[in-house]
Amino acid sequence: MPSSIRVGVCGFPRKAKDVFSNLDAVEIQSSFYEPLTEKRIDSIRKANEAKKDISVKAWQVITHPPGSPTWKKMRKRPEGNAENYGYLKPTEENFSAFMLSLSQAERLGAFALVLQTPPSMPYNEGHLKNIEDFFSFASGESSRKGIELIWEPRGSYAEDLRFLSKISEKGIAICSDYLRRGILVEGELMYSRLHGLGGREVNYRYRYSDEDLEKLKEMIFPFIGKRKIYIMFNNVYMFEDALRFKRILGEEA
């Protein structure tokens, strides 16, 4: 398989050692619901004997407001004013939560921290400015630690290509589901999270066909050897689909 492409999964659909042994990269998902325990961090590091690439999904309180359903899954709510969390607001609370996620990514030896904003995030000038201000702070902190920042916008933000290009110029990689939305911004780091086809934003029960995967290969083919590309499956059949895509890429190589 071309060395510039990494194929992986979001989460652990199999035992961690099996996933690290068979695939190129893993995005840690449990970090989204609440900060990882030291025991969990140690467990992931030990399972990654092959030193495969790791990305970490940032804590939900940075991107999702208190009314989001996923907040109910937290055992302990974050400190401070709850209204200052979510939607990438440039607040003390969000910055503190971001630094915690960044620190955990560093301890895991991760190459990137992934921030995914919900489609319900209001699209207006105030939030556009908040996003710029947030990433101005976050990019400086992440650069000092040598960790990439990746933003997966949803809803109206995923359609504003001019704004996404502006954020990309700050050194933030723009993530999209390539088979749903295409490649939104052709940055130095290209990162796709694949959520299945059909439905509105996601269809986790979708199993990708060989035709889907051939189409995906054709989309990224012009960038092979020119960009670092991560293809991260995030559906029920993620492990099997990732292995098939690696085989398809291997045949091309």
Instruction: Give pLDDT tens digits for 64-80.
Output: 999 999 999 899 899 99
134 burial class (0-12, 13-18, 19+ CB within 10 angstroms)?
Answer: buried
Domains of the chain: 5-252 (3.20.20.410)
Q: Supply the DSSP string of 173-232, one letter for each residue.
A: EEPB-HHHH--S---SEEEEEE--SSSSS--TT----HHHHHHHHHHHGGGBTTBEEEEE
**Whole-number pLDDT of residue 1:** 59
Rounded to two decimals, what is the model's pTM?
Answer: 0.96
Rounded Cα gap, residues 61 and 136, in angstroms:
19
Around Cβ 101, how many Cβ atoms within 10 Å? 25
Residues in the chain with pLDDT < 70?
Answer: 1-3, 251-253
**Whole-number pLDDT of residue 251:** 64
**Whole-number pLDDT of residue 200:** 85
**Whole-number pLDDT of residue 206:** 97
**Whole-number pLDDT of residue 253:** 41
